Amino acid sequence: MAGSTYGTIFRITTWGESHGKALGVVIDGCPAGLPLNEADIQRYLDRRKPGTSSITTPRKEEDAVEILSGVFEGRTTGTPLSLMVRNTSQISRDYSEIAEIFRPGHADYTFDQKYGFRDYRGGGRSSGRETVGRVAAGAVACRILELLGVTVYAYTRSIGPIEADMSRFDRTVRLSTPTAMPDRDADDAAIKYLEEAKKASDSVGGCMECIVEGLPAGIGDPVFEKLDANLAKAIMSIGAVKAVEIGDGCLVSSRRGSENNDGFRANDSSVIDDTRVIKTSNHAGGILGGISDGDRIVIRAHVKPTPSIFLTQQTVNKDGQNVDINIKGRHDPIIVPRAVVVMECMTALTVLDAMLVNMSSRMDSLIAFYKK
């Protein structure tokens, strides 16, 4: 099991490597009858496309998606959706140096140790291009969630020391700023910071945040399949993520219970039903005991700086000899702006799957479903 499948009911299997013929994903378990076309998916893929600003690689990646199966007369049939993106812009060049040397911060050495050899062209399966399949599948998940009244959106929270000012938060702004920040002033400052780092042949880390709105209370499971546990896995599985926080995250470890507990309140004192319960704060980030509480889900991911930097670094070659390495090529000085849509997609996939799994949690709804 090489671990390229994700999800229990809405189950995706991604394939493809940086410099292969194509990349893609098979989605199994997509409910039948969803209106879907290539443009619905392309919109998400375009958000991870490079070459659109000074702070991304000038590589061209068209990433035009093709639906190969699972849609008939404009609707999903319930059978596997196969989505493919042909690789078109991979420049054929000399990889002999990188073939022999392990790049620091990359998976070169660990891949070799696991499999005995590796496809060294552009990182192979460990390349960021692997996320093409995740985003294509996530686009479908987002479309379903929309119809269920659930919205998922991610954005860049900080880049190096530059943090977005959340008092100026505007959700749509993240779609037009090169940094995917939801605040134009922070975006300006971050671009300056990135250009300076780039000039210094260096790269920069950052933090991204994802919000889920409209998710009903009661989604997730109480033990190993906690909603936050699955989100942690989903987000940590994105290359370069080194920490995941839910709600107030790391802050809770230095807090008192009286500060950290969120009180419950009736939303409306006159007419009361279960869905009318709200919280006085959201330190929990919308999840209690692994199950959604009806409040906004808040997830943060800390992303390391792009390991491909243009400074000389110490490493070893395949024969275990000490060598210096000088990386060439076209590399983003930061991963975050293009990873934001990946985080959005992995979150959507996780939340949707939890909603599908949840459908059989009660006898009364099971009976209602089958004894109409």
Q: How distant is the alpha carbon of residue 267 from its chain centre?
A: 33
Interface residue with a copy of itself among 220, 297, 337, 341 (CB under 8 A) is 220
Q: Which residues pair with 158 in a beta bridge?
A: 163, 207
- For a copy of itself, give the closer residue by CB, 172 or 201: 201
**Does residue 6 bind a copy of itself (CB under 8 A)?**
yes
- Of 228, 229, 254, 232, residue with least CA distance to 243: 232
* CA–CA dist 370, 301 (Å, integer): 41
Interface residue with a copy of itself among 61, 209, 228, 344 (CB under 8 A) is 228
- For a copy of itself, give the closer residue by CB, 73 or 172: 73
Site for a copy of itself in 59-78 (CB under 8 A): 66-70, 72, 75-78
**Does residue 344 bind a copy of itself (CB under 8 A)?**
no
Tokens of 41: 């998916």
Site for a copy of itself in 324-343 (CB under 8 A): none
Tokens of 298: 């808040």
The answer to whether residues 48 and 40 touch, using CB atoms and an 8 Å cutoff, is: no
- For a copy of itself, give the closer residue by CB, 164 or 172: 164
Backbone torsion region of residue 358, taken as left when φ is above 0, otherwise alpha when ψ lies between -120 and 50, otherwise beta: alpha
Residue 221: burial class (beta carbons within 10 Å; 0-12, 13-18, 19+): middle
Q: Phi and psi for 309 in degrees, rounded to 5?
A: -115, 165
**Does residue 203 bind a copy of itself (CB under 8 A)?**
yes
* CA–CA dist 91, 61 (Å, integer): 11
**Least CB distance to a copy of itself at residue 245 (A):** 4
- For a copy of itself, give the closer residue by CB, 130 or 344: 130
- For a copy of itself, give the closer residue by CB, 91 or 366: 366
DSSP symbol at 232: H
Site for a copy of itself in 89-128 (CB under 8 A): 102, 104-107, 109-119, 124-126
Binding-site size, a copy of itself (CB under 8 A): 175
* CA–CA dist 58, 234 (Å, integer): 29
**Least CB distance to a copy of itself at residue 132 (A):** 11
- Of 159, 185, 151, 153, residue with least CA distance to 171: 153
Interface residue with a copy of itself among 5, 53, 54, 176 (CB under 8 A) is 5
- Of 152, 192, 159, 193, residue with least CA distance to 298: 152
* CA–CA dist 265, 268 (Å, integer): 9
Query: Helix or strand or coil: residue 213?
Result: strand
**Does residue 249 bind a copy of itself (CB under 8 A)?**
yes
DSSP symbol at 119: -
**Does residue 244 bind a copy of itself (CB under 8 A)?**
yes
Query: Helix or strand or coil: residue 145?
Result: helix
**Which window, 48-56, 57-65, 164-172, 210-218, contacts a copy of itself (CB under 8 A)?**
210-218
Binding mask 136-165 for a copy of itself (x = CB under 8 A): --------x--xxx--------x-xx----
Interface residue with a copy of itself among 309, 340, 341, 343 (CB under 8 A) is 309
**Does residue 345 bind a copy of itself (CB under 8 A)?**
no
Binding mask 8-37 for a copy of itself (x = CB under 8 A): xxxx-xxxxx--xxxxx-x-xxxxxxx---
**Least CB distance to a copy of itself at residue 168 (A):** 20
**Least CB distance to a copy of itself at residue 158 (A):** 6
Q: Phi and psi for 301 in degrees, rounded to 5?
A: -130, 135
**Does residue 178 bind a copy of itself (CB under 8 A)?**
no
**Does residue 285 bind a copy of itself (CB under 8 A)?**
yes
**Does residue 242 bind a copy of itself (CB under 8 A)?**
yes
> Which position has the token pair 């939890």?
354
**Least CB distance to a copy of itself at residue 116 (A):** 5
